Amino acid sequence: MLRHSLLDRTRAAFAVALVAVSLGLPAIAQQTGTLSGTLKDAIGASIPNATIVLRNEETKVVRNVRGDAEGHFNASGLPAGTYTVEASAPGFALTTRQGVQLTASNTQDVTLTLKVGGANEQITVDAANANSIAAAYAVMDGVLDARSARTEVNSTYIQNYVAPTADYTEVLQNAPGTYSLNANGVGLGDAKMFFRGFSDGNYDITFDGIPWNDTNSPSHHSWAFFPSQFLGGVDFDRSPGSASTVGPTPFGGSINLLSKEMPDVQNIRGGISYGSFNTKLIDVNYDSGNFGGASKRNNVFIDVHHMDSDGYQTFNYQTRNAGALKYQFKFSENKILTGFASVLWLDSNTPNIKGPTRAQVAQYGDNYLLQNTDPTQANYYKYNFYHVPTDFEYVGYKQQLGHGWSLDTKPYTYSYNNKQNYAATPKKGTISDPNCATPVSGALPCGTDKLNSYRKYGEITSLSQVSRFGIFRVGMWYEWAATDRFQIPQDPITQADSPLPNFHEKFWTNSYQPYAEYEYHATNKLTLTGGLKFAHYTMDLKQYADNGSTVGSLNGAPYVRNNASYNSVLPSVDANYRIRPNWSVYGQFATGSVIPPSSVFDINQTSTSSSPAAVLKTLPDPSYAKSYQTGSVLKLHRLTMSADVYYVRFGNAYSAPSDPNFVNYTSQGDSVTKGFEGETNVYLTKGLSFFANGTAGTAKYVSQTVGGASNPNYNLWVASTPSDTESLGMTFQDKYLNLGIFNKRIGSMWNDGKYATPSASSGQSLNPVLGTNANQAVPIDPFNVTNMYVNFTMRRGSIFDQTKIRFSVNNLFDQHNITSVNPSGSVPLNRIGYAFTPASGDTLGLLPGRSFMVSFTIGLSPRQ
C-alpha cells in the first residue's frame, strides 16, 4: 500500500514537472526575437560585407554580425529589449541607430544608409570585424581600414587613463613613438610633442577636421586650446594622409582631435579635483540628450571648468578658465547641422627660459625655476607672466543631395592672443633702477613686452559621390588670417616700454588647398585611392621701423611692405587589401609641404651711405616631404596587432632648436626618417587586458652640402629623435571599475648646440646658411615614466549615472631624469675628439616629480 502510494506520488510529481516544463518552453522561446536589415549607400545600392554591432541598451550585451554580399544581415535569438545598431564599412562613416525596439517572437527590420566618412568624423569601431574582444577592450589600437599607420584613442582612455588636468599631448603620450615634455606637471604648461623625428610645427593638429596652428610658423600651444575636458577621442595618422587631408603641415602626420559625442540621454555632472602642487580643478558638464518635441531633433553638450595650480616648478603658477558648447540639430537622418564654440583664458607665471641651470638645480633642487625674494634677478616671478585668451568656433552642415552625392561644409573662426612679459639679466649690473630705465643702444636692457595675436576665418567644403565603383571626393580648404606681433624692450620694474620695438609686424595670409581623389573599390577586398592636392599660400607683411634689431629705422619711413607666394603640387596614392575580414595590409606614397616662416623677412632693410637696404631677392622653397610606408593590422578574438615600416625624406628642412620648446628657422638641407612601429592589445581574462607598443628608427641629415658649402651636420641626428620608444600597460574594465597602469620609455637621443666661431688663422669657416647651428651636440640618456589610475563610475541605469571617484598617480616611481639640455658651451667645427662636457650654465629640461590627484564627481540622470 505504501509502495503504491509512493509510486503514485512520484508519477504525479513527474507529470506535474513535465507539464510545467512543456508549458514553460514556449514562454522561454517567446522572450527572444530577430533583428535583420539592409545596409545601403546614398544612392540605394547595397553595401556588401559590412560590420554590424548590436548592443542591448539595458544589459550592455553585444552581438557582432557581418553583412552578406547583398548587404543583408540577420541576428536571431536576441533577448527582447531596446538595441543600438552600429554599422560600418570601408570608406563609410560609422552609422548608429539607437532605440530599436525588439519584442518577443518578432522580427524587427532595420535599414541603414551609410554615409561617406573620414578619419575626422568619429572613432571607427573595429571590434566586430573579427568578433575581437581584445579590440573591444583596447583603449588605443590600429584600424583595419587603415591606408597608413594610424592609432585611435577612444573616450574610455581619455576619461579614465589620464589625469583630469591633461592636455592633448598627455592623451597621446602612450601612442607609438610619441613623447611630450612638460616640466611643471601634467597639463600645467605649454607642452610640445615629438614623433618620428618631427617636432611641433612639422605636423598637423585638427579639431573636428579643422586644422589650427600659429601664423608665423605652424606650431601649436597645448595650454591654450582643447583641454581633455573637450575631447571625445583622437585619430592619430602618422603620415601625410591622402589628397583630402588638408592643413598647413600634414607631411609629418595629423593629430585629429575629436569633440565629444552627443549622448541620447540627459545627464549633469559636477566635480572637483585636488592634487599635488596645490592643483585644483572644478568642472561642470551638461548633456541634454535628444530633446525638442516628439522628434527630439536637438542635442546640446556644455562644459565649464576652472583650474589653478602652483605647479611643480617654483612659482610657475597656472590658472585656466574655459568653457565649450556643442549643439546638434537633425533636420533628418540625411541633413544635420552642428555648431561648436569654446573660450579659454590662461594666466601663467612661466618665464621665457623654460628651465633652471645645472648650478641652480645643484643649489636649490630640480623643481627650482622662479623666486620671490630677490627682485634684482631676472627670475623674480612678478616680472614673468602670460595672459592668453583664445576662442574657437565652427558651424558644420552635412546633407545627402541625392544620386549618391553628399555635401559636408564647415565654416570656422578662431583667435589666439598671447600677451607675454619677461625679464632678462642686463649685461652690466642687476635688475634695478637706473640700470633698467637707462637705454643701451637705444633699448631698455632688462625686459620684453611681447605680443603674438591673430584671428582666422576659414572653411572646409567637400563633395563626395558614391557609385558601384567607389567614392569620388572633391573639395577645398581656404583660410584667411590677420596677425599682429611685436617685441618691445621694457623696464620690468615699471613696465614702461621703449619708444621703438625690437620688431613689430602685421601680416595677412591666405591658404588655398583644392583637391580631388578617387577611392576605387576594385574588389570586395581591395581598395585603391589616388588623388592630387594643390597648395597655394600668400603672405603680405607690414614691418614697422624698429631699434635696429630686425628691419632697422627704415630711414624715417614708418614701415616697409613685403610679400610672398608659395605653391606645391601634392599627389598621393594608397591601397588597402583585406586578406581576411580581420586582417588587412596597406601601402602608401604621399607628399606634403610647409611654407617658410615669416621670419625669413627679418633682415635689415635700412639703407646707409655705404650699403643699400637688404632685399630678400629669392624666397626659400617650402619644406617638402615624400613618405613611403606599408603595414598590416590583425584582429583576433583575444589579440590585436598592428605594425608598419616607414621612410620619409624631408627636404629643405628647418632645424630643431637647442631648446625644444622653441623653433629655430635655420635651413638644414634634407633629412631622412625611417623606422619600424608596432602595437598590440591582448585580452587576458574577465576585463583584464595587456597593451604594448614599440618603435625603432633613425632621423639624420643627409645633405652633404648646404648653400653650396660643406654641411658640418651631415649624417648627424635630428634633435629630439629617440632611437627607440616603448609603452606597456595593463587595464581592468568592468561595469563600475576602470584600473590602469602605463609605462612609457624614451630611448637615447640628441639635442642641438652651437658651433664656436673659428679663428681666422684656422682656415675654417662656418657654413653661410647654417651658421652656428650644431646638430648632435648633447646626448640625452633614456628615461621613462609610469602612471597609475583607479576609477569607480556609476553607469547608465542609475539616477546617479556618471557619479565617479577618480584617483591618479603620475610618475609613480618619482623619476627625475634630464629630458633636454640647452648647452651654455659651444661645439668645435672640427669635431674630432669632441665629447659633450656638462657645464653649470646649461639650461635643463627635467621630469616633474611624482604627483597625485583625486576627483569626486556627482552625476544625475532622469530615469529612462
What CATH number does the domain located at 268-598+618-860 have?
2.40.170.20
What is the arithmetic mean of pLDDT over 668-684? Answer: 93
pLDDT band at 6 (very low <50, low <70, confident <90, very high): very low
10 pLDDT higher than 50? no
Q: pTM of the full predicted structure?
A: 0.86
* pLDDT at position 8: 52
* pLDDT at position 778: 96
From the centroid of its chain, how far is CA 481? 22
Least confident of 61-75, 177-191, 780-794, 821-835: 61-75
| C-alpha dihedral sign at 237, 239, 245, 246 | positive
- Residues 577-586 have pLDDT tens digits of 999 989 999 9
What is the arithmetic mean of pLDDT over 301-311? Answer: 98
What is the arithmetic mean of pLDDT over 467-473? Answer: 93
Question: Is 3.40.50.300 the CATH classification of the domain at 33-123?
Answer: no
Distance CA 666, CA 657 (A): 9
pLDDT band at 45 (very low <50, low <70, confident <90, very high): low
153 pLDDT higher than 90? yes
* pLDDT at position 314: 98
- Residues 750-759 have pLDDT tens digits of 999 999 988 8
End-to-end CA distance of the chain: 61
Percent of the chain with pLDDT over 70: 91
504 pLDDT higher than 50? yes
Count of alpha carbons within 13 angstroms of residue 777, beta-carbon side: 29
What is the arithmetic mean of pLDDT over 311-317? Answer: 98
pLDDT band at 666 (very low <50, low <70, confident <90, very high): low
For the chain, the average pLDDT equals: 89
* pLDDT at position 84: 83
- Residues 421-461 have pLDDT tens digits of 999 999 888 999 889 999 998 899 999 999 999 999 999 99
Distance CA 484, CA 289 (A): 41
* pLDDT at position 167: 96
- Residues 78-110 have pLDDT tens digits of 888 888 888 877 666 677 777 788 888 888 888
Residues 168 and 157: beta-carbon distance below 8 Å: no
709 pLDDT higher than 70? yes
CB atoms within 10 A of CB 844: 19
Residues 298 and 232: beta-carbon distance below 8 Å: no
What is the arithmetic mean of pLDDT over 191-215? Answer: 93
201 pLDDT higher than 70? yes
For residue 84, what are the CA distances in angstroms to 386, 600, 673, 808? 47, 55, 44, 33
Nearest alpha-carbon partner for 153 in 127, 175, 129: 175
* pLDDT at position 42: 54
7 pLDDT higher than 60? no
Residue count (the chain): 864
* pLDDT at position 111: 80
For residue 327, what are the CA distances in angstroms to 298, 517, 819? 7, 31, 42
- Residues 521-574 have pLDDT tens digits of 999 899 999 999 999 999 999 999 999 999 999 999 999 999 999 999 999 999
294 pLDDT higher than 50? yes
Residues 613 and 604: beta-carbon distance below 8 Å: yes
Least confident of 50-54, 411-415, 537-541, 656-660: 656-660
Distance CA 297, CA 398 (A): 15
Sorted by where each begins, the domain ranges of the chain are 1-30, 33-123, 268-598+618-860
* pLDDT at position 424: 93
Which of the two residues, 25 and 693, has the higher pLDDT score?
693
658 pLDDT higher than 50? no
392 pLDDT higher than 80? yes
For residue 487, what are the CA distances in angstroms to 379, 438, 503, 539, 663? 19, 18, 6, 20, 16
Percent of the chain with pLDDT over 90: 68
What is the arithmetic mean of pLDDT over 475-495? Answer: 97
